[in-house]
Amino acid sequence: GDPNSATSQWFINLSDNSQNLDVQNGGFTVFGQVIDNGMDVADAISELPRFNLGGAANSIPLQDYTNDDATNGREPDGDNFVLITDIVVTDAATVTNPDLTPVPNTLIDNDSEPTSPSGGGSSGGAMHPLALLVIGLTAVLFRRRTKR
């Protein structure tokens, strides 16, 4: 894949799906880890009901919003969305765990020819539901911090 093809999206894996991620676009890069009780927060966000808000927003976790709200045309507002408002870098070192032994990605076929761009004038994409969990993670952490 193109080393400069990344998007601005990021997500938290809720389970080991490396067999799937390692073969897409040359693999994905892990650049962080969830610490302390962070997975409790991520799991809570993953349990929120999801709603199709159209387009790429087809699986949005909403809090305090029901199927009846959606059926009755009630638009979700700022209180319903799980938002990331703050991210804290706990260790700016590029190697935060020197004891990790990275496993080489043997699932990628490096001998195959890369696919060329279509030449079309438009592009699209979908936001992975797990990407939205990161948004919620920060919102929950921020709300917990401000309620103290």
Rounded Cα distance between 20 and 41, Å, is: 24
Instruction: Name the domain count of the chain.
Output: 1
Q: Look at residue 116 and tell me if it is in a domain.
A: no
Closest CA to 44 of 130, 137, 143, 131: 137
Residue 71 within a domain: yes
Residue 118 maps to a domain: no
Q: What is the pLDDT of residues 71-116, one digit of tens each?
A: 999 999 999 999 877 777 777 777 667 777 777 767 766 665 555 4
Does 117 map to a domain?
Answer: no
Asked if residue 136 lies in contact with residue 84, where contact means CB atoms within 8 angstroms, the answer is yes
pLDDT at 39 over 80: yes
In a domain, 40, yes or no: yes
Give the rounded distance of the alpha carbon of 1 from its chain centre: 20
Give the whole-angstrom CA distance, residue 98 versus residue 143: 33
DSSP 62: B
The pTM score is 0.54
Domain residue limits at 42: 1-110+123-148
* Inside any domain, residue 3: yes
